[in-house]
Homo-oligomer: A and B are copies of this chain.
Amino acid sequence: MDRFVSTFTNKIDAKGRVSIPAPFRAVLEADGYAGGIYCYPSLDAPALDAGGERLAKKIDGLLAGLPDYSDERDELSVALYGDVQILSIDGDGRIVLPEALRSHAGLQSTCTFVGLGDKFQIWSPERFDERRARARDKVREHRKLFGQGGG
């Protein structure tokens, strides 16, 4: 089990804590858990992206190609590192979502964890439903193009 799959909806308590779904925790540990998960606002969705060491290495990889002390590197670093928060997991498998992240994703009393393979996203359940509906529509369109094939 080494990929984030499926979706789970958990409660956010009065302290802003939320349990990470146990299957996701298992993936994080297998991934080389180093004290916390990396979490940042998704660039093109009202949601949060999150992951473990594998995700961190991917971010490093993006910057590795750019020369030190260039304008470009600094700008990219700001977005890639500056927006990232390291959220530590407590003994009960919970994280605390800071206000900045909660407001970006519009999170209130519950949130939905969505597995995306190498990383997962955290959505407000309502917004995720909308998005899922849209995604289904897109699949239908594609099916018409591809012909009456898959179910």
Please give the residue numbers on chain A whose beta carbons come within 8 Å of chain B beta carbons, in ascending order. 1, 3-7, 23, 34-36, 38, 42-45, 49, 55, 58-63, 68-69, 71-72, 74-86, 114-117, 119, 121, 131-132, 134-136, 138-140, 142-143, 146, 149-151
Contact = CB atoms under 8 A, between A and B. Distances in A.
A139 B76 contact: yes
Given A43-B140, A44-B71, A58-B149, A78 B116 contact: yes
A26 to B, nearest CB: 11
A6 B82 contact: yes
Given A58-B68, A61-B149, A76 B142 contact: yes
A22 to B, nearest CB: 12
A140 B62 CA distance: 13
B71 A23 contact: no
Contact of A82 (B61, B72, B114): B114
Nearest to A143: B43
